[in-house]
Amino acid sequence: MDWRAFWNGRHSIYVNDRHRTVHYTRVADDIIAMLPRADAIVLDYGCGEALFAGRVAERCGTLYLSDAAPSVREKLAARHAGDPKIAVLK
């Protein structure tokens, strides 16, 4: 199995839900800490589930989410469909 197929299917890389939440919180916090200004355009390449993308989008101009796994992109697009500051790239 290649890496794209792995991420596109069911997997369990996290020990539990808390581990998953801590991971994505840290990623979001790290992105926010690096923003040069409030209108920055941000690309999160290989974003995975991007659980806290909304928090990042609140602090920047536009947030582009990119992931190679089609199932991940579909879930992201559905979750952020109503947010004009978040775009999921294909």
Residues 81, 75: Cα–Cα separation, whole Å: 10
At 32-88, the pLDDT tens digits run 999 999 999 999 999 999 999 999 999 999 999 999 999 999 999 999 999 999 999
- Across the range 8-34, mean pLDDT stands at 92
Whole-number pLDDT of residue 36: 96
**Stronger pLDDT, 3 or 44, i.e. the higher one:** 44
* Token pair of 74 as six digits: 């579909």
Q: What is the pTM (predicted TM-score) of this model?
A: 0.89
Residues 41, 15: contact at Cβ < 8 Å? no
**Other beta carbons less than 10 A from residue 52's beta carbon:** 18
